[in-house]
Structure 1
Amino acid sequence: MKVKHKIIKGLAVVAAAVFFVGINVTSSHATERQYGGDYSKYQPSLYNNTGKDSFGISQIGGSVNGYIYDQATYSSHMNQGKARGWHMHTYIWDQTGSNQYQTQAMLNYFLARIQAPYGSIVALDYEAGASWNIEANTDNILLGMRMIKQAGFTPMLYSYKPYLMAHVDVNRVLQEFPNSLWVAGYQNGLSVWPNYHYFPSMNGVALWQYSDYGGQQDMNVDLTGITNNGYTQNKQTAPKPAQPVKQPNPNQKAEVITRNSVWKDSMGDVWHSESGTFTSNTWLHLRWGAKPYSSTIAYVGPGTVIKYDAWSRHDGFVYLRQPRGNGQYGYVAVRDANTNEAYGTFKQ
């Protein structure tokens, strides 16, 4: 989103000339609009570009193919913005393509480190690394947005229109998260005010990044009031501690475990009975449900041995079911369902 991605942004500017159409706004100084910049390490100080800026969005860090990095300027940006009375929000560089495991690890790391209020924006910056599989990319994005919402924040998706159209099923995203798009499309010239003839016409745009001011500073206009979330509207409190998901009654016919039995659970996932042990070779999440976004029971490290009684292949992973006390079960993703990469060893 910043200077290091100028090549990508240059493509956005060229493509914008093809896709932009005007909208019916007669004044670029319309009082109902709110303005603000987004910031990374390339802008150590906040700027009031319009003289009326009221919000800022700072990069906390990101993931590049599973490598997670922090942005050292995040805390300083948050403190500067709070001192100015601005509504401060967060974005994360999301170069995980269709890999839900990487997105899950990224958000488990960053969501606990957000320094803005609950209810504020946490945006996924998805503009590089997409796979050829549009549905898998979209599944991955939706997983991330669900995790952001579950953590008590307002999820948004940032990119530029040609990239979204080529790699993401935007309609699926908007069906679940209406008006959640933050779209880049740069106007000509160095005006600090948006020229709406360059607006990237598409549904669901809540924030428009209308200029990079000659490659120096990104400027945004809030079209819906979403930057008030967490401040004057949509205030949230800390999420309640996760509760165990109620499991199907093991005495039900579909849950009777016999050798080589197969059944479908209430989520529509097919399970196969199999007794064995799994020894992890990396850090994994043991969860209350067999979904990437299910609540975590515990983190299990390399060398941990888990006894299991069933397995299922769905949502991009192979899951094992671990019997626990009081008729409960834990679930752990032990293999990438697409590449078949195992996260440990198995023994029956």
Structure 2
Amino acid sequence: MGGESVGTETEEQPHGATVVVDGFGLKGPRGWVFRQVSFRAEPGALVAVEGPSGSGRTCLLLALTGRMKAEEGHAEVGGLPLPRKMAAVRRISALGQVPGVNELDPAFTVAEHLRERALLQRRYDGSVRALLRRPAERAAAARARIDEAVKAAGLDLDALPKGERTSVRDLERLEALRLSIALALMGRPRLLAVDDTDLKLSDADRAEAWALLRSLAAAGTTVLAVCSEAPEDALRITTLSGETGETGETTPQASGTQASGTQAPATTEATTTETAASEPGAGARPAADTTTGATDADRAAVGETAADDTTDATTEEGAADALAETGRA
């Protein structure tokens, strides 16, 4: 009876994750990367983090998905507190392509990327029953998950130069963006984070990219997208480059509280204070991007301790086995 009750409650919960941020801040060795970030996004909201390149937008995205540890304020993603539950937040969130964190392999084909992600997802989905299925059943389930993600990302495999055998290096920017989103969706995340959404896109392609993200948000997934210019119907978070004083810290400029929004929220704006000195790789180190949880080494990289979160049952050997099946081990 108790198990049925829990299952019913889980089904009634919205798929997307509520994101609540209050005075959130991350500091690097040369000053604040961002600070005084405050906003609320309801499940299925489209949140656009806009600002100039180097203003810390990516670091904010990584912090809100549990890949970087903030030192100031607090946030909750799907009811999970940050930074205390970083590994748990990583389990319910997924990243599109982020330079230096989970870039697409240019030598791999589209099919190889999709197959690899499906294998990794099977290893990390936590279902013992799935692992005990017959090979034919596992292959069919993996194919169904791939097809579902590809369709949701709007990636037309037949339209590619060589179909699914097209190498990533031969993809147009919009196609590569769709592929990275398809890979992220394979884990059926409650929060999807996309970096450089409108980078190097024409006006027409930019409109298509935002239409895709709106459709994902409308389907219930909360979407967090970094961009240079946010669309009017998104929940907007604007980052500004701060002024660094002699102490290396950033002088606060402004802060604000974002109004809550759902699938098509009204345009509002929250300004955060940031410094361009601390992008990913410039002192504040992102946690390893894995499908589920983090190892002790991951925790050490972001400053977590054993008391901060539970340790995943998944081992590094499991990841190595899955990569070996794709030839990447």
TM-score when normalising by structure 2: 0.30
TM-score when normalising by structure 1: 0.29
Q: Comparing both structures, which one devotes a greater share of its residues to helix?
A: 2
Say which structure, 1 or 2, has more relative contact order (CA 8 Å, 6+ apart).
2
Greater gyration radius: 1
